[in-house]
Amino acid sequence: MKPITPEIPSQELLILPLKKEPDAVVRVPGSKSLTNRALLIAALADGFSTLTNALFSDDTIYFANALQNLGFCVNLEPQKSCMTVCGQGGRIPSRSARLYVGNAGTAARFLTALLTLAEGEFSLDGDARMRERPIGDLVAALRQLGAQVTGVDGQNPPASLPLKIMAAGLPGGRAEIAGNISSQFLSALLMVAPYAAGPVEIMLTTELASRPYVEITLAMMADFGVQVERRDERSYRLRPARYQARQEVRIEPDATAASYFFAVPAICGGRVHLRHLSRRSSQGDLRFLDLLTRMGCTVAEKDGMIEVSAAAGLQGLDVDMSDIPDTAQTLAALAPFAQSPTRIRGIASARFKETDRVAAACAELRRIGVQVEEHADGLTIQPCAQFQPALIRTYNDHRMAMAFSLIGLRVPGISIENPACVSKTFPDFFRVLEELR
């Protein structure tokens, strides 16, 4: 199955303002983070596991296709949002493969770790932006555990894709790794460590960015029967173990995707209800609801739905978003509508995503007439009384497209460049956005 190309304009899309305050019930697709973690762990487990409400988007399809290219049986049923994986008990069926992951960061990081369990020679590459995104800290940690990972051009150790993996199983041992660039490095190590030949100890050398995503990893591992020993917040120990297949893995709706719709009442008034997602979820990006509450919105959970209602007067925030950087663009998009400035801190790691999201958010806010100051780890956004019509550049970043389209629901003349980039994680985003009308 190829990555998804949505049937929406490829050049630009005009977002029409809402004519009335919304009172809508919306659904968002399954979580990318949960889907790709479940795919990896299910492939390592013994037997068949079925993922329901799985996300079908570019990032998950790249990963599922890579598993198929490695010889795993992965049955994809997009009409049913269902994926079935036949796990091989830690064995990688193929002895060689050339894998391509586009700009899918989770796929790149997870596959790099997974391939060290194999026997044979493998290469891993991505698109131009993925070749710029860092992976050196993960490679260094895997090499400490006995893996042979180099650049395909002989660069040793490599800082980014493409990679060559000369795999002969992962011996194990002790590894130190930085966590301030991406939590995906630690998650990748944790998920494959049970299949190392010996015990694995992982020590963080820095603070951990996006910590809730590691909690998601640990919870998913536990669901498949493997526990991780944690001595403190920077130390993890794993002994050889085997994942057990699960008859059904129900993938929750994506909390990051939900953030765009949670933000709508803050910008446009009215109410939005989101189905099948609970605040008890392990997905850290649900903490975005706490920010909306602090800004003056009302958040309630009832009848299996989360409901967000408009604020009487939207207040700005000074907030550290280091744990939830993927929602920072959502906050940046609604901040100009607040009555006081908003300072977003702690998102230096966002500069290494699909684009430099700090710089991109600042540039596009200025394009529509918002006064904004860029900082090394974030930005300060002033209230805006007079917006300018503009074509919003997306930098081929799905989160830029989704977050800044919200502004067009209230401000006339806002168009989104390259709206098809949302296929990375939410191919139906603009169709769901229309359901607000």
- Residues carrying an active site annotation: 326
Structure tokens given for 383: 């209230």
**Separation CA 45–CA 53 (nearest Å):** 20
Report how far apart, in Å, the C-alpha atoms of 107 and of each of 103, 163, 239, 278, 418 are. Answer: 9, 13, 24, 27, 23
- CA of residue 288 relative to chain centroid, distance: 15
**Separation CA 79–CA 94 (nearest Å):** 29
Residues 6+ apart with CB under 8 A from 155: none
Residues 6+ apart with CB under 8 A from 146: 170, 171, 172, 173
**CB-based contact 87:245 (threshold 8 Å):** yes
Report how far apart, in Å, the C-alpha atoms of 195 and of each of 71, 139, 207, 245 are. Answer: 18, 17, 26, 15
Count of positions (residues) in the chain: 437
